[in-house]
Structure 1
């Protein structure tokens, strides 16, 4: 009996030591966002729409991220993140679990990081982290007019290299496999960004290049079947900067979109009726915005313009205003309003972070909690 007690004590001590060693080398964190609120949309063929929306400020999500210290400044890292609808409790993309991010890779303190999987494009990271004072949140965000639909936001099968920061400079290079049978180039996507951050200034240039070719095998699998085709390249380029003036933080961005699928419409369901709007294949986008502390919260405002240079000349202008009031470091209340003016049959709608919207104006009132 005494020997059994001693053996158990030794086993317990060894287990505790081993567990401590593992926890010292690796770390796994569960995180998430829970966001929901009241949305009122109007101006579209659907009339006035009142609803409870999910992901107005940030798409509601549950994620797991982890790292393991491999020594010599090298670590292994992963992220698995799914999106959820708080208003219904559903996964926000049917047939998918970790639809937001799913990646694994290595990171070196001196050489940078290399990750594989479903990830954000360098172009979208430029819009969300540098260009938009709304941070792609609420009515009035940059996604309503700057092209982020489809593969402009994130892609599967991506290889992404992120450089370390050197005297304020950093960069990203991305390659997304098209993975169409019979072709190594059809559907592939390239991305790049270069950034500079020093003191009050943040600046970033983002680029996206998509091969729109369809291989014979991929076309046969579509509904209805599509013949193999060679199509023009679609490109997106955006230069963005923000500068903290002390009381006010100013934002500016200029984008250029060229080629098929370079500017897909956020709402492609003909939201205003009549002749269906046409997605531009040649356009430019501009943004001016600011954030400023007011009372205990933050006022956010921006103006965004889209200049459609195609023969359709379907331009649009958007004005957005929001206020975010923190209840704690992890919880805030918000209100937002935005209005779009479409020209020549353009079909742009006022959406929010999680939805494309149904009309040319919208009001949001909601709450966001992170953990």
Structure 2
């Protein structure tokens, strides 16, 4: 009996030490709203999840390994709050799932992660890739995230930071087929934030190389105090494995975000895709939104967006080429 009590006490001491050295946080977002969409032919009213920010629950943690080195991990599950199903194709941790090391050298993470170009566009977009003005409705972010990724993030040097990511294609006999590479660099000084990002995806059907897709993104924001200006420009080029161009376009974003009344923020953007490969395939998107904080963690939102597609363009849920879809939504988001 005495030996059992001693063993139990020792176990409690070890567990207490482990808890003290490891910090784990549970967090999430619950976001739901009503949408009224028009695909250019029919109108639909629906209750949707993740209109402003994808609904999620996540676990992130760090362990102090000594000497300024930390082990880090993140597991993030996406779900649809309107029907309780899992997001990202039913994956358990489809939003992000990685483990790595962090220290004075920066951070190295391994697993499913956001592409650097997606993280850059999120900063440049006044809507933060949500609501009716979501810049990824037009700009390329290559699926937001990539599997099998090694990501290195630098520490901050005089306002400069950078990311480099490589995603394995995992195709037998080829290191390039299906692989992706991304990079970004940013500079922050006072009200100025400038970002440059690049992404290349080696396209594949099954295990067969079918070409590549490339995007270069440049943009920045400037905070005037009363409002913040947003500007982004991207160059997109796709080619077949034989080098024949299948896409050649440019994307432009001009936006504004402005605090109002202490608790509110007005959001506005204009986005244009100019297709340089096919005539009469340009797209324009206008969007206006408003968010209102009820507390530090809960806000209401509303937004409206209108897409104008040229005769051969089909972006943003158009029922067919040349249709002009639109969307209006209103909802509530809670962070925990």
User: Deviation of residue 153 (structure 1)?
Assistant: 1.4
Number of the residue aligned with 1:191: 182
Please show how residues 299-318 of structure 1 align to structure 2 within 5 Å: 299-318=266-285
Q: Which of 321, 325, 331 is residue 360 of structure 1 equivalent to?
A: 325
* Structure with greater strand percent: 2
Q: Once the two structures are superposed, what CA deviation does each residue of 1:202-237 show, in whole Å capped at 9, x if it has no partner? A: 1111100111245xxx35xxxxxxxx4x44321011
Question: Of the candidates 125, 130, 133, which is equivalent to residue 137 of structure 1?
Answer: 130
SS at match of 1:91: coil
Q: Does 1:289 align with 2:255?
A: yes
Q: Tell me how many residue pairs correspond in the alignment.
A: 327
Instruction: Quote the Cα distance in structure 2 between the aligned partners of 1:340 and 1:163.
Output: 38
Assess if the C-alpha contact under 8 Å between 1:35 and 1:367 holds in 2.
Answer: yes
3-state SS of paired residue (2:88): coil
| C-alpha separation in 1, matches of 2:191 and 2:246 | 35
What is the TM-score normalised by the length of structure 1? Answer: 0.83
Q: Distance in 1 between matches of 2:204 and 2:331?
A: 42
Structure 1 residues not aligned, in runs of 5+? 220-227, 262-278, 352-357
TM superposition shift of 1:249: 0.9
What is the CA-CA distance between 1:18 and the residue it aligns to? 3.4
Alignment of 1:57 with 2:57, yes or no, is no
Contact 1:307/1:313 (CA < 8 Å) preserved in 2?
Answer: no
Q: Alpha-carbon deviation of 1:367?
A: 0.3
Q: Hey, what does 2:31 align to over in structure 1?
A: 35
1:70 pairs, out of 36, 43, 65, with 65
Question: Is residue 139–residue 350 contact of structure 1 (8 Å, CA) maintained in 2?
Answer: no
Q: Distance in 2 between matches of 1:338 and 1:280?
A: 28
Tell me how far apart the structure 2 counterparts of residues 27 and 246 of structure 1 sit (CA, whole Å): 36
RMSD, aligned α-carbons:
2.2
Q: Secondary structure at the match of 2:175?
A: coil
Unaligned runs of 5+ in 2: none
In the TM superposition, residue 147 of structure 1 has moved relative to its aligned partner by 1.7
* Structure 2 counterpart of 1:232: 211
Q: Is the 8 A contact 2:110 2:150 kept in 1?
A: yes
Q: How does 1:145-294 map to 2 (within 5 A)?
A: 145-148=138-141, 151-214=142-205, 218-219=206-207, 228=208, 230-260=209-239, 281-294=247-260
CA 1:55–1:33 in structure 2 vs 1: closer, same or farther (change >3 Å)?
same
Query: Which residue is 1:113 aligned to?
Result: 107
Q: Deviations over 1:121-159 (max 9, x none)?
A: 11111101x2100000101110111123xx341110001
TM (normalized to structure 2)?
0.91
Q: CA separation in 1, counterparts of 2:43 and 2:284?
A: 21
| C-alpha distance in 1 between matches for 2:39 and 2:143 | 27
- 2:309–2:324 contact (8 Å) kept in structure 1: no
Larger RCO, structures 1/2 (Cα 8 Å, 6+ apart): 1
Distance in 1 of aligned mates of 2:90 and 2:271: 35
Note the C-alpha offset of 1:43: 3.9
Question: Partners of 1:44 and 1:87 in 2: how far apart?
Answer: 25
The CA deviation at 1:12 is: 6.6
Separation in structure 1 between the aligned mates of residue 116 and residue 279 of structure 2, nearest angstrom: 29
